Every structure is written in C-alpha cells, then in structure tokens.
Amino acid sequence: MSTAPTNPLAKSRIAVLGYGSQGRAHALNLRDSGLDVVVGLRPGGPTWQRAEADGFAVVEPANAVRGADLVAVLTPDMVQPTLYREVIEPNIKPGAALLFAHGFNVHFKQITPRTDIDVILVAPKGPGALVRSEYERGRGVPCIWAVHQDVSGHAEAKTKGYADGIGGGRAMIIKTDFKEETETDLFGEQAVLCGGASELVIKGFETLVEAGYQPEIAYYEVMHELKLIVDLFYEGGLKRMLEFVSETAQYGDYVSGPRVVDAGTKARMKEVLTDIQDGTFARNWTAEYAAGLPNYKRLKQADLDHPIEVVGAKLRAQMPWLQPSAVRAEAAPLKKVG
C-alpha cells in the first residue's frame, strides 16, 4: 500500500505574518495540511481576534519570527520593508526561509534579505477566498513558485512543500523567478485586469450616456454583463466565449474589437511594461506612499464618485443575489449572450 510523501515542512514551524485575505487562507490551509502554524499580528486589532477565533496561536510578529523555520510575509507590499527591517531581520534565525507571495520588494530592492536565509516565493493565482474554498473542496488553486536565495540547500523543497500545504500541488505549480512574477503581475493589474478593464468600462459607459442612452441601460451593457464574458474566458478561454455568444456578437467582436484596442493601445501597453521593468512605477508608488498617498486618494475618490458608481449602486441594490449574505443557487445553464 503506497503512502503520500511527507511534506518537507512537516517538522517545521511556520510563522504567517498578516491575516488578511491571503494570510488567513494560507494559515488555515497549512494547518489543515497538518503543518505547525503560528500567526504574527499586532495586538488588539480585528485580525488578531479573528485568528484567535479560528483557533490559532497568535503572538506579536517578532515573537512569531523567533524560532520559526519559515516566515511567510503576507502583509501589504508597502508595509513590508519596515516589517522586515524592524521585525524580521533582527529575529529570523540563520537557515530559515523567508517567503513572499509577491516579489515586489525583493525585486525592486526595497528589501535586501540577509545572506544567511533562504528567500522564496509562492503566489497562488487567485484571491484568498478562492484559495481557501478550493482547498476545502479537496482541490487547489494553481501556484507559481520561485527561489531567490538558497542557503540551506533545501529552498526548492521548502517552496514546493509550502505550495502543497496551501493546496497548490493539487492543481498545478509553475516555476518562475522574482523578476518574472513581479513584472507580469504588475503589468496584468495595470494594463488589463484593473486599470485596463475599469477604464474600458468607464469609457464605454460615458460613450453611451453622452449619446443620450439611459445610464441604467449603459451600466448593464458595459459593466454588469462583463461578468458573463469573463466567466467564459475563465472557464475555457476565447474558444468557450465564442461558443456561448451569438454570431452577431462574434462578428462585432471581430470587426470592432481591433478598432477600440488597436496597435496604439498595444504600444501604450509596452510603455506601461517599460515603466515596470525599469523601476519607474516602483519608485513612483514608493514615493506616493511615503508622501501619505495624496494622488492615490484623489484618484480613488474620483472613481468612487463617477456616475457609473452612482447608478450602479442603485441597480445593485435591486439585485439581492449580488449581496454577500445571499444564498446563491447553483448557476443556471449558460445561454447565448448578445
């Protein structure tokens, strides 16, 4: 009778710093995989209480780091340099592993790790809630992994052990490096997933409203129904999307899509990528954070005040199935869109 291989981290203590979306999912999955987890948080906050309610030993970050064999840094990017300098660097033991879920600070040298520790990365390709829910279903979310610094000679095994512990090994783990993970992640967020998609939606909404169409109709057409298309992309790429939209929609895709997103758009995407690759974005974002986020706050508020958000809030209030507390029935069979 064959037995499952022992996780390389089976006898290790793992300190999880941060208990947000990813931190909570990682900690719970690691524990449910039989690994020894301690959570490091600032005392008195809501995440401390939540972690304790989940049954974890919760201590201040410095105490979590001391004696840990692997320290997983799952706090926001901009607080990590101070956390490393004040908490991790003085306390992490030689030969331990320092793990990140995003390579930003190491790649852009906001953090220069000590030379006597392993430096590794495991990045699930999904939000924390999905990482947890897929694990609970006996499945996993694909992860990408990297080794930046191998002092112990076992960094790769530790990295794969961590990926297995959060469920990534049940799906797929893909090798990368800190540079590739960081630059592609930032580009995807800026050019397509967040920046690109939101601007495309906003400009589509404005175009329809300025042409005299009702804001409510415009909202449904350019924002609400986008989920239908994204879900099809997610499930089966372009092929599945084309299977489930009408021939009219397909033809419009072929002849009008390239008119909107054209060679000029791609050239500007390359400019965005260059700013990421040469460190311009990282320098600007670090300076913005240090200045107290004045432009960030202004730009965010402008998005929140946009008419598409005003009309969207009213419409979403009439769709109780969108509310987080709603009990969601199984998805109905897909129908043609467009």
Binding residues for substrate: 246
Helix (H, G, I), strand (E, B) or coil at 11: coil
Tell me whether residue 102 is one of the annotated catalytic residues.
yes
Tell the residue number behind the tokens 């020894």, with chain if given.
Answer: 36
User: What is the DSSP track for 209-229?
Assistant: HHTT--HHHHHIIIIITHHHH
- Number of residues assigned to the chain: 338
Residue among 54, 95, 93, 61 nearest 75 (CA): 61
The one catalytic residue in 102, 107, 148, 224 is 102
Q: What are phi and psi of 33, to 5 degrees?
A: -85, 5
Task: Report the C-alpha gap between 134 and 124 in whole angstroms.
Answer: 12
Helix (H, G, I), strand (E, B) or coil at 59: strand
Task: Report the C-alpha gap between 284 and 281 in whole angstroms.
Answer: 5
Residue positions forming the annotated binding site for Mg(2+): 185, 189, 221, 225
Task: Report the C-alpha gap between 122 and 147 in whole angstroms.
Answer: 9
Q: How many CB atoms lie within 10 A of CB 97?
A: 28
Show which residues are catalytic: 102
